[in-house]
Amino acid sequence: IPKAMAVALPKDLEQHASEARKRHAELWRQERIFNARNRIIGGDTEAWNVQVRDQKIKEATEKARHESFGAEMRRNDKIMCILEDRERKDRKTLCRVINDFQQSFQKPETRREFDLSDPLALKKDIPARQSDNDIRNTVSGMQKFMGEDLNFYERKKFQQEQNREWSLQQQREWKRARAEQKCAENLYLDTRLQFDETARQIQKLESTTRKAICAAVKEFNRNQAMESAEKKKQEKNQEQEDNLAEISNLLHGDLLSENPHQAASSFGPHRVVPDRWKGMTQEQLEQIRLVQKQQMQEKLRLQEEEHQRDMDWDRRRIQAARAALLFERQQQREQRGLRRSLDSSNLSLACEQHLQKKHVNEVYINQPTGDYFSQFNRESR
């Protein structure tokens, strides 16, 4: 069949596509395996890049989904607020319509049982009876009895006569009360005059008594002043005598004479009374100076001992440093000897390797060319 007349069958196309796919995979695998950088790192950077890209795509998708959810939630919240507002307005309108309907068509006075709870029921109600001839005054109603109010005129006349008698009685009682009040006023006036006379006499007697008391008090105060002046004079004399005695005692006593025994305390010979102590004696001062000299000598002795101890420690440190230096020099000499022996052994080994290499080159004369090395690493398998 001529080449121009050849027709590509589906099986051939599938085989060519499979071979092309295998070649592409092999080339990609060779590029990945024969890459020195990836081989040294020991990781698949392309795969890592693909994973990073997939992770970013996943995060972007998740973020877009969250944003769409957020937008949906905001839209639902807005719709919910609108519906709640509408429901609140509808409820308010319904309540207003119900109130208007009740005010217009369901008034309280139109109810059947309104008369039971009417606040003006007592005002609207008629009396139980309006007259004796009221038709509601039945026998069972007990509003009219036999003989009730039949003598109205006699009762009215009797009441008028009774009122006149009461009026006359009140007039008689008023006149009697006026006479009794006038008598009581006269008696009160007489008693008041008598009381005034008695009070005047008592006031006069009280004035006389007060004068006598004032004179007695004045005399008593004069005597008291004289006694007080005499007492002060005696107290002043006694105070002067006491002061003179105190001055004499101070002059002849232990305080100004500086007697050291007066500061001795009753709690022991090592204690003194602070307000009487006049200072230490010469023997005590000498004893203190002696103790101070002993303390100074003891301190000098301790300082000398510490100096000797420091010198001993310094000598020991110098000896230890000298021994360490000698030991270090000995180690350096030993290391130099070891290094010389190691160099000689390495030199002998190098000579042996050179002779061995020369012998190998003489024995193996066929050297490998570039074609020998190029046959390796052609495929990834």
Distance from the Cα of residue 247 to its chain's centroid: 71
Residue type, 185: E
Percent helix, strand, coil in the chain (nearest 5)?
Answer: 80, 0, 20
Q: Give domain limits for the chain.
A: 11-103, 284-332
Dist. CA 258–CA 281, nearest whole Å? 11
- 261-298 in b/e form (b: 16+ CB < 10 A) is eebeeeeeeeebeeebeeeeeeeeeeeeeeeeeeeeee
Q: Report DSSP state, residue 126.
A: P
Burial of 260 per CB tally in 10 Å (0-12, 13-18, 19+): middle
**Residue from 292, 261, 289, 266 nearest 277 by CA:** 261
Quickly state the pLDDT bin for 266 (edges 50, 70, 90): low
Q: Report the C-alpha gap between 285 and 282 in whole angstroms.
A: 5
- Determine contact, residues 246/240, Cβ cutoff 8 Å: no
**Nearest-5° angle of CA 107, CA 112, CA 117?**
75
By the 8 A CB rule, do 262 and 255 touch? yes
Structure tokens at 269: 């010979």
Which residues are registered as beta bridge partners of 265? 268
What pLDDT does residue 25 have?
85
Report how far Cα 67 is from the mean position of its chain's Cα atoms: 41
d(CA 272, CA 265): 5
In 3D space, the residue among 137, 108, 140, 105 whose CA is nearest the CA of residue 121 turns out to be 108
Torsion sign across C-alpha atoms 358, 363, 365, 367? negative
User: What pLDDT digit, counting tens, does each position of 112-142 carry?
Assistant: 888 788 888 888 877 666 666 777 777 676 6
Q: What dihedral angle (degrees, nearest 10) is formed by the CA atoms of 117, 123, 128, 134?
A: -120
Residue 272, φ and ψ in degrees, nearest 5? -130, 165
Helix (H) or strand (E) holding 242: helix 152-252
Which residues have C-beta within 8 Å of that of residue 254, sequence separation ≥ 6? Answer: 261, 262, 276
Decide if 34 contacts 377 (C-beta within 8 A): yes
Q: Is the separation of the CB atoms in 129 and 137 below 8 Å?
A: yes
User: Which residue type does 70 have?
Assistant: G
Range name among 16-20, 39-43, 97-101, 202-206 with the lowest pLDDT average? 39-43
Q: Encode pLDDT of 60-89 as tens digits.
A: 999 999 999 999 999 999 999 999 999 999
Gyration radius of the chain over CA positions: 73
Give the tens place of pLDDT for each residue, 286-326: 999 999 999 999 999 999 999 999 999 999 999 999 999 99
CA distances from 141 to 137, 138, 209 (A): 6, 5, 91
User: Structure pTM?
Assistant: 0.25
User: Quick one: pLDDT band at residue 196, thresholds 50, 70, 90?
Assistant: confident
pLDDT band for position 2 (cuts 50, 70, 90): very low
